[in-house]
Chains A and B, each alone.
Chain A
Amino acid sequence: MILRGRILALPKRGNSADEFEDAYAPREVGEAIALPFSCAVADGATESSFSNVWARLLAAEFVDCEGNLEAMEAEMPRLRALWREHVSSKPLPWYAEQKLEQGAFSTVLGVSIEQADEGNSARWHAFAVGDSCLFHAKADGQVVSFPAERSEELRAWPYLVPSRQLDEEPLHSIGRSRRGILEPGDRLILVTDAVAGWILKSLEEGGSPLELLNHATQTMPAFLAWVEGLRDAGGIKNDDCTLLWLECCEEPR
């Protein structure tokens, strides 16, 4: 099996690209991704400073560790030190210094995919802290969502990965894991909470959001137009939007 991927990301309306607080890794995905493959999205909390830096570190580390949670856990002190080093590199006004004491917070949702032992299927393993969501759209039309299964589970105050040493808790104790099997024709879609909320709500209303989303994400201008239209109509929360789309294809012979 190979994967065909695309990534789309848009800042909250009214914010510049510099203010974008979602993150994703890898930075690019191709049309013929070989397995094993790992990817991640992360969403830095609005109410913490330098959460974009923390989100980028978390997403990149998941991919560097190829989804191995124990390996990522071992790297957390180094990640926290990197964040601290980044934010302490220049003098800050009193309020920014006091805000830094609270640390930064971010979701992380990572998926690693490897070839199954037999046939043309693959195994996926996902890990999530917070409200970024994975959707597994099976070729037969079934949709599995993780970790949220209902739109009301996307709360304004999720439990997130903190950058402060003081709050350190093992990742496995604050996150959730899930496994599944991929077949050719299946899709895996990783999204941050704004798009996740729209997908879940649409599924609850009996819609086919992933078909709509497939069309809306073929190009960046199409994605921008679609998100802006939904924002105008109040159909999606005005927040950063990130989507990492993977299609499972049979390997060309």
Chain B
Amino acid sequence: MSGAESGAMKRKADSAATVINKFLQNLVIKCGKNEGVRDYFHVGVFGYGQNVGPAFAGTIAGRDLVPISEIANFPARVEERSKRVDDGAGGLAEQKVKFPVWFDAVANGGTPMCQVLGKAKDVVAAWTAKNQTCFPPIVINVTDGESTDGDPSAAADAIKALSTTDGGVLLFNVHLSATGASPIEFPDSESSLPDDFARLLFRMSSSLTEPMQAFARQKGYTVSASSKGFVFNANLEALIDFIDIGTRPSNLR
């Protein structure tokens, strides 16, 4: 999900869109197997601003939850972007990479977080009712601004109250601030957070599960049993590492 503050700079909305597109790209690659993609996940992306609803563009537009193999095969477009890579001689070289886009930045309207969390709850409740033995869904709220339709705590609690036989639904939050403040990943207390809104998102976030904490430590993060699924001014790539679909080599980078 993504919220874009009314009147916000397009850059902020762009960064939210890039975070989400990059997340989807990495999730597809994680599920990639030989020539295809295994349907380990069904994924929904909901935008919230002037409108609240499914945010995929292109062939899969308008759908709530889409199998990851369809997401892989139907990006709205595939852009070519440049990235800097190690040239093997101590320097950096520009490399062209394919960057699939499923979701475009929209910077208008408010940030109706209560409304979108309510929508997420409905979608997740329908899914968990049909898939009671699966790993519980993870809801990731990506926002660059404060809620404009009230305190979202109750809506967050309603999502976290859902469950499968494997545990409770997880709610993670990603706060992208325009202040350029230093990234904070998986904090275990509110004390390091810069403002009341970040502290609210921290409190709304589920704790990392024990296997996720173990993965996080293995990846070099400092986490404790109280660490939350909350990142501030950081991307979501670490979260993908935490999702376990089978043997993952420790030397895979």
Which residues of A approach B to under 8 Å, CB–CB?
Answer: 43, 45-50, 90, 92-99, 102, 105, 156-160, 162, 167, 193, 239
Contacts of A47 in B (CB 8 A): 30, 245-249, 252
Interface hits, B184-219 → A, CB 8 Å:
211, 215, 218
B32: chain A residues within 8 A (beta carbon): 49, 95-96, 98-99
For the complex, what is the distance from the CA of A154 to the CA of B136, rounded to whole Å? 25
**Is A157 a contact partner of B35 (Cβ separation < 8 A)?**
no
Which residues of A have CB within 8 Å of B250? 157-160
Asked whether any CB of chain A lies closer than 8 Å to the CB of B183, the reply is: no
- Docked Cα-Cα span, A227 to B246, in Å, equals 19
Alpha-carbon distance between A157 and B215 when the two chains are bound, in angstroms: 9
Enumerate the 10 nearest inter-chain pairs by beta-carbon distance, A residue then B residue, closest first: A46-B246, A105-B249, A99-B32, A160-B249, A157-B250, A47-B248, A45-B247, A46-B247, A95-B32, A95-B28
- Name B88's closest neighbour in chain A (CB-CB): A166
Chain A residues with CB under 8 A of B251: 105, 159-160, 162, 167
- Inter-subunit contact A46/B29 (CB<8 Å): no
Q: Is the CB of B100 within 8 A of A94?
A: yes
* One of B25, B28, B245, B252 near A102 (C-beta < 8 A): B252
Known: A49-B34, A50-B34. A95 touches B29 (CB 8 A): yes
Q: Closest CB of chain B to A120's CB: distance in Å?
A: 40
A157 touches B218 (CB 8 A): yes
User: Bound state CA distance, A159 and B33, in angstroms?
Assistant: 20
Closest to A169 in B: B251
Which residues on A sit within 8 Å (CB–CB) of B28? 95
Contact B247–A159 (Cβ < 8 Å): no
Q: How distant is B178 from chain A, measured CB to nearest CB, in Å? A: 30
Provide the residues of chain A in CB contact with B29, threshold 8 Å: 95, 98-99, 102
Given contacts A47-B30, A47-B245, A156-B244, contact A92 B35 (CB under 8 A): yes
B233-248 interface code vs A (CB 8 A; 1 in, 0 out): 0000000000011111
- Candidates A48, A92, A193; contact of B252 at CB < 8 Å: A48
Given A43-B247, A94-B98: A49 and B252 interface contact (C-beta under 8 Å): no
Contact with A along B9-25 (1 / 0, CB 8 A): 00000000000000001
Chain B positions within 8 Å of A43 at CB level: 247
Chain A interface secondary structure, helix, strand, loop or mixed? loop
Q: Is the C-beta of B93 less than 8 angstroms from some C-beta in chain A?
A: no
Q: How far is the CA of A92 from the CA of B253 in the complex (A)?
A: 21
**Chain B 131-189 interface residues, beta-carbon cutoff 8 Å to A:** none
Separation of A98 and B97 alpha carbons in the complex (Å): 9
B78 part of interface (Cβ distance < 8 Å)? yes
Using a Cβ–Cβ cut-off of 8 Å, how many residues does chain B contribute to the interface with A? Answer: 29
Given contacts A49-B34, A96-B36, A105-B251, 8 further A-B contacts (CB under 8 A): A46-B248, A49-B32, A92-B35, A102-B252, A156-B247, A158-B247, A160-B251, A162-B249
Q: Does A93 contact B73, Cβ atoms closer than 8 Å? A: yes
- A98 neighbours in B (Cβ, 8 Å): 25, 29, 32, 97-98
The docked-state distance in angstroms from the alpha carbon of A157 to that of B218 is 9
Chain B, Cβ-Cβ closest to A87: B34
A93 to B34, CA, bound (A): 10
Q: List 22 A-B contacts (CB under 8 A).
A: A45-B252, A47-B246, A50-B34, A92-B35, A93-B73, A94-B98, A95-B25, A95-B37, A96-B32, A96-B34, A97-B98, A99-B29, A99-B32, A105-B252, A156-B211, A156-B248, A158-B249, A158-B250, A160-B249, A160-B250, A160-B251, A239-B247
Q: CB < 8 Å: which of A95, A156, A239 contacts B72?
A: A95
Nearest CB on B from A11, distance (A)? 13
Residues of A within 8 A of B37 (CB): 95
* Chain A residues whose C-beta falls within 8 Å of the C-beta of B25 in the assembled complex: 95, 98
* Cross-interface CB contact of B248 among A45, A94, A97, cutoff 8 Å: A45
A159 adjacent to B78 (CB under 8 Å): no
**Chain B minimum-CB-distance residue to A19:** B33
Q: Is the CB of A157 within 8 A of B100?
A: no
Report chain A residues within 8 Å CB of B248. 45-47, 156-157
Most buried by A among B35, B36, B100, B218: B35
Q: CB-nearest residue of chain B relative to A102?
A: B252
Greatest chain A CB density within 10 A among B29, B72, B245 is at B29
Closest to B71 in A: A95
How far does the alpha carbon of A97 sit from the alpha carbon of B25 in the complex, in Å? 12
Closest to B37 in A: A95
* Shortest distance between the CB of A104 and any CB in chain B (Å): 9
B-chain residues with CB within 8 Å of residue A193 when the two chains form the complex: 247
